[in-house]
Amino acid sequence: MRTTTLGTTDVRVTELSFGAAAISNLFRPVTDEAAFAAVEAAWDAGVRTFDTAPHYGIGLSERRLGAALRDRDRDTYTVSTKVGRLLEPHPKGGRGDDLAHGFAVPDTHRRVWDFSSDGVLRSLEASLDRLGLDRVDIALLHDPDHHAEQALTEAYPALERLRGEGVVKAIGIGVNQCALPARFLRETDIDVVLLAGRYTLLEQEGLAEVLPEAAARGRSVIVGGVFNSGLLTDPKPGAMYDYAPVPPHVLDRALRMKAVTERHGVPLRAAALSFPLGHPAVASVLSGARCAEEVRDTVNQLRRTVPAELWDGLRAEGLLPPHVPVPGTAPVEEADRPKEKSRSRGGDDGHGGEHR
């Protein structure tokens, strides 16, 4: 599987990243055996980039992912986790479930927002304990939408120090919106944006600011949520879009896309997986799976050849703007190319991870 580096770092990511939210009982239970088999199938397919977070299953994602990777050579894969939510024992934990947050797990802990410097350190220390690993490669600020100032003035500087000390190799932000990551790209020295649901075959909001900013500054984007909450896997009435029932006009557009892709012998989900990789700033697409079969299907879809005529057909139907880059197109204009920028970091430079 093809790999690339994030921004100006030496962190390598595969073109497909394994999102470990699904194996933490996202919406419904997943057995330990199924979770481990999913990670094993991803490994067998050549995936070497794995993304997790304390939020996913109140730590279950990190525990399962760490256990599944523990016997692998640590220098052969990349792990990303996130900071911003600390897990604290719930005063009445274990009596109910966590489905209000989307996870079918006992509510043994509660999430506490904390983008302070101390919160970052405590979060990473706890994540390493749950993962059972000696380090993570990428640390991301997780959904700081309502905590932007503290994330900028306290959490980000803490991550920058950790990167300079070689504790983590790359830092960034993981969000479901575009305004904040564009601001971070302009005002900080992050390496990567994990952008969920905002640069997909269905919508390209990220093309307004985030992707051009990343490309111009030599930074990278990992695209999550490529199926827009599952709509682009099987568009039908009652399907989910942005974690809510799909509006009729959005469903109609997805169905029209499906008709075009299938005329060219390509499943809609294959085109959806391939599409983001057409932009030069996109280093990887992140997709979650709860079992080995789902992993194998995702890998098979990504390996499909998507003919140029398919993209032309979407454009002809008014379903894809003419200026949007697609896989296999000619090189981008020089102004849009990632620019290499040197970065001075103190200490060791680090030689030594669907988001929702």
- Which two tokens mark 149? 């100032």
What sign for the dihedral angle of Cα 276, 278, 281, 282? positive
Q: Token digits for 296? A: 């194998």
8 A C-beta contact, residue 53 and residue 83 = no
What lies within 8 Å, CB to CB, of 107 at 6+ separation is 58, 90, 93, 94, 95, 96, 97, 98
- Catalytic, 199? Answer no
Q: How far apart are CA 316 and CA 28, in angstroms?
A: 40
**DSSP one-letter string for 48-96:** -EEE--TTGGGGHHHHHHHHHHTTS-GGG-EEEEEESEEEEE-TTTTSS
Which helix (H) or strand (E) element contains residue 103?
strand 103-106
- Nearest CA among 32, 95, 33, 24 for reference residue 61: 24
- Which stretches of the chain are DSSP H helices? 32-44, 60-69, 117-131, 148-150, 156-164, 179-187, 210-216, 248-263, 268-274, 292-303, 308-316
The active-site residue, picked from 56, 156, 199, 241, is 56
Q: What residues act catalytically?
A: 56
